[in-house]
Amino acid sequence: KYYVHISNDFSNGNQLTIHCKSRDDDLGWHVLQVSEEWSWTFRENIYGTTLFWCNLIGENHSASVKVFYMYDTEFLKMCNYKECFWSVRDDGIYLKNDWTASWSLWYDWEH
């Protein structure tokens, strides 16, 4: 089983609207207040190509990002091969390195 967590860490009190899906599953729209987290679990598809992406929308920001992808070893390593933690912040979208407990800027805002 794999886990993805997304937290709203905006400093200005803004809501974060999230819409995540894979080729097989649409997880719907979710609205997070500051400091709230949303997460889900899933199993790898039979082809070993599982990919989830999310549209992230804040008051002045938006981005479409991959939040889980089986075929990228560097990415899977950051998630300790099972659990990905994302922090959505004013200056971008961060991924936690599960080995070092440090956060890395993974995506910039598109708008």
Q: Which pLDDT does position 92 carry in this prediction?
A: 97
Q: b/e per residue, 31-42, with b = 16+ CB within 10 A?
A: ebeeeeebeeeb
pTM reported for the whole predicted model: 0.94
Q: Exposed, middle or buried by CB within 10 Å (0-12, 13-18, 19+), for 7? A: buried
Domains of the chain and any CATH numbers? 2-107 (2.60.40.10)
H runs (alpha helix) in the chain: 73-78
- Residue 47: per-residue pLDDT: 81
pLDDT digits (tens), the chain, 111 positions? 999 999 999 998 999 999 999 998 999 999 999 999 999 999 988 888 899 999 999 998 999 999 999 888 888 999 998 999 999 999 999 999 988 999 999 999 998
pLDDT of residue 57: 98
pLDDT of 46 reads: 83
How many separate helices (H) and strands (E) can be counted in the chain? Answer: 1, 9
For 2-91, list the strands marked E by DSSP.
2-8, 16-21, 26-32, 37-42, 51-57, 62-69, 83-89
pLDDT at res. 20: 98
